[in-house]
Amino acid sequence: MSYRAPVQDLMFAIRELAGLDDVARLPGFEEAGCETAQAVLDEAARFNEEVVAPLNWEGDKFPSSFHDGHVTTTPGFKQAFRQFAEAGWQGLQHPEAFGGQGLPKTIGFACTEILNSANLSFALCPLLTDGAIEALLVAGSPDQQQAYIPKMVAGEWTGSMNLTEPQAGSDLAAVRTRAEPQPDGSYRIFGTKIFITYGEHDMAGNIVHLVLARVAGAPEGVKGISLFIVPKVLADGTRNDVHCVSIEHKLGIKASPTAVLQYGDGTAASLPGGAPGAVGYLVGQENQGLAYMFVMMNAARYAVGVQGIAVAERAYQKAVAYARDRVQGRSVDGRTPPGGGIVHHPDVRRMLMTMRALTEGCRAMAAVAAAAYDAAHAHPDADARAQNQAFYEFLVPLVKGYSTETSLEVASLAVQVHGGMGFIEETGVAQYYRDARILTIYEGTTAIQANDLIGRKTTRDGGALARAVAARIEATEAELAAQGGAAARAVAARLGTARRAFLEVVGFMVERGKSDPGAAYAGSVPYLMLAGNLVAGWQMGRALLVAERRPAAGEDEAFMRAKVATARFYADHILPRTGALRDAVVDGAESIAAMPLEAF
């Protein structure tokens, strides 16, 4: 089955839920209204359906390969990336001053989903480049910005993020890569970095590595980490002393080369004086590297959440197509027509609706987060910028954590819909399950997102931000109850129950976070899943309001009816999970620590 971009649902999310008209009123985004968005999404759909999506299965069968220090990507990737760059897709959200198109994240998010649905492995290269560009826009000097950003925006160069080392995974305090100052103001970098996505490839002429390292004499821990630009190829055309020594053999995203990079092994004899050490350039100030890298990490975390939505959409489309075509048995009510597919079976319908509701709920949440990001950066009022920034930061761990965890559920259900055929690689659905598995791990595991949600987003301000979000949800409940329809009233009731469970957990986190942090953090992931479920359900409730109020306002009536049905299903089948999650957090902390360690 070929991929078809869900342009109508994406337009609904950014227009009706994210408020694209309001985004287009922000300074600099005046030309980014619905007409522009529709044209951009239509072209993104065409390009990705025709050029990128056909390479997805090829990339799984013929992964990137490594030989003698060089990486060769899947056949067709290099040509597709050149078309991607020449069409301007890499620069979609980046400033016009550097060659980009300057469109808001609200539109960019939708294009990012389409690209990742088409081919998750391919999309990882632009994702990392976007993050590198954002980091340099925030922390790079004017000279660095001019030297690197236009080339990356044009797709002539790509970017990579170098954090992890063999002894330093999520604990960046353990980073040991060292940077030695040079008389000319540059540094020489020595160390090993692992799990570097697109750290070496053949799709662009240069790779701009952003590398965390320690300068001699720097403080221990995260306070002593600096950020450096280390280009693969130096300005004079010589090869820098950074080399790929291997790439990983992975469960999924096989076409995306995950590199082990060695900095300063002395093999680049063409460097000045033949001395070893990769030439690097300090970004910003020494010992501030982690703060700068967090810009790139936050951009990547949001983008990974969108990847989860994207792979869920692709798995859902695959499952629907199979369920329509696969003839097997008769439905229990005897209503299966002759030759009717398994889509008539009630449990298959339940699985498909679960997949659809989770995907649409996460999509809506990501769209609303994107609009908050745009307002946080472009709104003329400082208070509005601050409020939107806080809301966006609250949503990022939910977009990343909840969307990726649910993508696993959706991809697993897609395999289940296929039955035994889903376990056969040739069917193609297993690839989505395997590809989705990394999403809850890289750019910070679900537990890391959950810890961030507790520490920075909930307990730091005594739960004020979390309660403010709950107040907005309560206002939507009132709108739903006032609307009067049976579906609206049902969603309002379910939403209210879930919101109250959320508030109980917020109170628990604030109180126990002070007296017994271990008990609070033991429930961190259930708290994240509860919050993500609630916020996605909130957006589904808002979608229902729109669909019931405007069924004949030039919209596709069948589409609007489906919106109402999906929102009702989410309320009936997904939102009730919040009660069990509340119980696990509030009542379950003791049982987590009850087992003696020696008993494991």
Task: Find where tokens 């976070």 sit.
Answer: 513
Centroid of chain to Cα 306:
4
pLDDT in tens, the chain (600 residues): 689 999 999 999 999 999 999 999 999 999 999 999 999 999 999 999 999 999 999 999 999 999 999 999 999 999 999 999 999 999 999 999 999 999 999 999 999 999 999 999 999 999 999 999 999 999 999 999 999 999 999 999 999 999 999 998 888 888 999 999 999 999 999 999 999 999 999 999 999 999 999 998 999 999 999 999 999 999 999 999 999 999 999 999 999 999 999 999 876 555 556 678 999 999 999 999 988 888 888 889 999 999 999 999 999 999 999 999 988 877 777 777 777 888 999 999 999 999 999 999 999 999 999 999 999 999 999 999 999 999 999 999 999 999 999 999 999 999 999 999 999 999 999 999 999 999 999 999 999 999 999 999 999 999 999 999 999 999 999 999 998 789 999 999 999 999 999 999 999 999 998 899 999 999 999 999 999 999 999 999 999 999 998 755 555 889 999 999 999 999 999 999 999 999 999 999 899 989 999 999
- What are the C-alpha distances in Å from 82 to residues 3, 70, 76, 259, 419? 21, 19, 10, 22, 39
pLDDT reported for residue 1: 60
User: Nearest-CA neighbor of 124 among 323, 306, 375?
Assistant: 306
225 contacts: CB under 8 Å, gap ≥ 6:
172, 175, 212, 213, 214, 218, 287, 289, 290, 293
In our burial notation (b when 16+ CB lie closer than 10 A, e otherwise), range 128-163 reads bbbbbbbbbeebbeeebbebbbbbbbbbebbbbbbb
d(CA 31, CA 21): 10
pLDDT reported for residue 550: 72
- What are the C-alpha distances in Å from 385 to residues 143, 372, 373, 376, 456? 28, 9, 9, 4, 18
The two tokens of residue 167 are 């002894």
Positions marked active-site: 443
User: Radius of gyration (Cα) for the chain, nearest Å?
Assistant: 24
The two tokens of residue 86 are 């020449």
d(CA 190, CA 177): 6
d(CA 353, CA 572): 11
By CB atoms closer than 10 A (0-12, 13-18, 19+), residue 418 is: buried
The two tokens of residue 54 are 């056909």
d(CA 41, CA 35): 10
